[in-house]
Structure 1
Amino acid sequence: MVRTSLPVRWLLRVLAVGYVFLLVAWPVALLVKNTFGQGLSSLTDALSDEQVTGALQLTAIIALWAVVINLVFGVTISILLVRYQFPGKRVLSALIDLPLSVSPVVVGLALLLAYNGRTGWFGPTLEDNGLQLIFNSPGMIMATCFVALPLVIREVVPVLTEIGDDQEQAARSLGANAPQTFWRITLPSIKWAVVYGVVLSLARSVGEFGAVKIVSGNITGRTQTATLVVEAKYQNFQQDTAYATSFLLILVSIACLVVVAFLRPQHASSGRKSR
């Protein structure tokens, strides 16, 4: 352990707190102040605006679908990466981190080039069979899944690695098949990691902007999500509604963080008790 003097420790604390305050706390506080600067009128006006309520409903639908899809594929890919050896494993692991390093706007453009109905690689074939992805909800769900997928996998993989596969092998030696082993052994062991990944994925999905804007077309009343409404309202000099909508999105993110904060100590304390 590195020992530092008391002044140095206080200086580091002040720098850390000041950085977080200037980057996060202060801007959020100003947003809340502007939202409630005239009481609850801005919030009530936003909730009575059909454009805002429709966008919030669409955001909830897209986020829920994205979370469910990422939950299924995230757990599956995590088990594949930890429990199996196969050619290209490192490449797959690197590709999973791609959404964290690539701009969401680039993601949206890539999906547009691949699935656009007129010029995309797969778009014309899909539209000939009655399926439109781009400028429609499926494309928005795909874009949201792409940017949020690593959050589930990077929570589950370390836990799977830590617990090992001894219990799974014991279950199989006693006659359990693969589904029984998963539901009775693997899933209970990783359930909290799955919960953390789902909560973080939900928060990320609700706040997605760049990729969704490209693939949605930002059509009012049809493909306009809450984040796109914030931009539209602010550019149309309806700042009060933009502030109120942003505040509602912040509430969702804060609720997700609170859930994670309450679950993590509970998990840690239960683990210490079991030992």
Structure 2
Amino acid sequence: MNALASSSPDSARRSPAEIALIAAAYAIVGLMLVLPPVLVFTEALRSGLGAALASITDPDALSAIKLTLEMTVAAVVINTSFGVLAGWLLAKYRFPGRGVLVALIEIPISVSPVVAGLVWLLLFGTQGWWGEALNRVGITIAFATPGILLATLFVTFPFVTRTLLPLMEQQGRDAEEAATLLGASFWRILWGVTLPEARWALLSGVLLTTARAMGEFGAVSVVSGHIPGLTETMPLHIETLYNGYQSVAAFSMAALLAIMATATVGMRSLFEARIRREEPRKAETAGGGA
């Protein structure tokens, strides 16, 4: 027993190559992921905590924070509703064009957000296909909050669906078919049978959507018009402050955005850990039932 333990990989002496690889990994992570936030907070507090707090309570800053939160909440609600239904459809049924639908849902992951913003301008801008007609009836989309919402919806479109889809496919349809035979409606099956088992994956997708929505810059920059106090989200306001040589205010807003995003990603990591802990239990339960 002792001989086996002493020869196990965990207790063996690491080779110089392994040590160098581990050191390189820590160095890259420190340089790329740890150093930037440290520098952001250092610059934000360069003139003291009071100056940092004053900069993020400026009326334009508060307006940017409010708009960011509003767009994030709206995008999360809409894309979560769509993502749940799309994930359920794609996981439970096989139909012609299913692969095409999956590919279309994943387009926002591969297409540049700037391209998406230009498309919305082409459609809804004052010189766009439908912009002039909409303006005649008092509807403004480009350079207004509806355009920002459309841009945010596009870039966050796939995340809930792609998070739910693998887990829903593992569930199978046995429990749902049994509920159908007992007379349960579609909505009762969805909320009472399907989603409870996928709740942690759903929460993970929601949080990923939240983090992406808060930090979106490219598509929103194109369609917003950068109007301070009206159409500037937090990322856009940071750019405006930095271009205006207000570095303390810019880094203070960046630090606040980093805190919000880090908290969201941290919660998602906790939910993913919960999923990994529950998977062996479900497997044991299924094996025991068999």
TM-score, length basis structure 2:
0.88
State the distance in 1 between where 2:22 and 2:34 align: 16
Would you say the 8 A contact 2:45–2:248 is kept in 1?
Answer: no
Whole-angstrom CA distance in 2 between matches of 1:196 and 1:120 = 37
Specify every segment of 5 or more residues in structure 1 that has no aligned partner in the other structure, as ranges: none
> What amino acid sits opposite 2:68 in the alignment?
T
- For 2:20, which of 8, 11, 22 is the aligned residue? 11
Q: Which is worse superposed, 157-166 or 247-256?
A: 157-166
In structure 1, what is the equivalent of residue 3 of structure 2?
A: none
- How far off is 1:38 after superposition? 2.7
Q: What is the match of residue 190 of structure 2?
A: 182
**Counterparts in 2 of 1:216-227, with a 5 A limit?**
216-227=224-235
SS at the partner of 1:157? helix
Alignment partner of 1:245 out of 248, 253, 258: 253
Separation in structure 2 between the aligned mates of residue 248 and residue 107 of structure 1, nearest angstrom? 27
Distance of 1:161 and 1:26 partners within structure 2? 40
Looking at structure 2, the residues matched to 217 and 97 of structure 1 have their Cα atoms a distance apart, in angstroms, of: 27
| Equivalent residue letter for 2:93 | Y
Amino acid at match of 2:197: S
Partners of 1:257 and 1:194 in 2: CA distance: 14
In the alignment, the residues of structure 1 paired with residue 84 and residue 133 of structure 2 have an alpha-carbon distance, to the nearest angstrom, of: 31
What is residue 256 of structure 1 aligned with on the other side?
264
Percent of paired sites with the same residue: 36
The higher radius of gyration belongs to 2
| 1-structure distance, mates of 2:199, 2:130 | 37
Please state how far the C-alpha of 1:270 moved relative to its aligned partner.
4.0
Moved more, 143-152 or 232-241: 143-152
Matched residue, 2:163: 155
Q: Provide the aligned C-alpha RMSD in A.
A: 1.8
Task: Confirm whether residue 104 of structure 1 aligns to residue 113 of structure 2.
Answer: yes
**Mean Cα displacement is larger for which, 15-24 or 121-130?**
121-130
- Could you tell me which residue of structure 2 aligns to residue 31 of structure 1? 40
Aligned to 2:213: 205
Matched, 1:265 2:273: yes
Q: Does 1:57 align with 2:66?
A: yes
5+ residue gaps, structure 2, are 1-8, 285-290
